[in-house]
Structure 1
Amino acid sequence: MKNIMKSLAVIIAAATPAFATGDGGSGNGLLMSAFFGFAALVIVFQFVPALVLLGGMLKGLFSSAAPEPKK
């Protein structure tokens, strides 16, 4: 039984580098492309409100003095 376990451990240890080569697939699949597309949409939809806020801050920063309150 001990010899079987040792033999099995040696076979598994010798076969492990064969799975690390990485040429089992063609690269990015449809799901990976969909994930990157979704991530790009999230970035774009977060960038638009950031630009609007930046514009508002710059407008407030460079505008004339604060308007007087109405009575």
Structure 2
Amino acid sequence: MTTMRTLLTTLATVFVSAAPAFAAGARTDHSGLVVWMFLGFCALIVAAQLIPAVLMLLGLVKGVATPQEKSAVQQR
């Protein structure tokens, strides 16, 4: 009987604490065309900066992965 009481108390506590989450209404988005154009422009800037960064990273990996040539200069 005590386990049933503990289970019901726990469930009641969880449901009472979760009630505000269920009370939130549906949010509507009233963003206009200008907002979406601004967000698209920001995405374009991010994409334009990612392309050179990826190319530089590939060049760095290629430089590290290729074997080093031994120098022809003799040390004294």
Moved >3 Å (runs of 4+): 66-69
Unaligned 5+ runs, structure 2: 1-28
Q: Aligned pairs, how many?
A: 46
Equivalent-residue separation in structure 2 for 1:66 and 1:49 (angstroms): 28
**Percent of aligned positions that are identical:** 32
TM-aligned CA deviation for residue 46 of structure 1: 0.3
Q: Deviations over 1:11-42 (max 9, x none)?
A: xxxxxxxxxxxxxxx61101100000000000
Which ranges in structure 1 are unaligned for 5 or more consecutive residues?
1-25
* CA pair 67-29 structure 1, distance change in 2 beyond 3 A: farther
Aligned to 2:57: 54
Amino acid at match of 2:37: A
Normalised to the residue count of structure 2, the TM-score between the two structures is: 0.52
TM-score norm. by structure 1 comes to: 0.56
- Cα separation, 1, equivalents of 2:37 and 2:69: 48
Superposition RMSD in Å? 2.4
Q: Does 1:65 align with 2:74?
A: no
- 1:40 equivalenced with 2:43 (yes/no): yes
1:50 CA drift (Å): 0.3
Pairwise mapping of residues 8-27 of structure 1 onto structure 2 (< 5 A)? 27=30
Aligned partner of 1:31: which letter? V
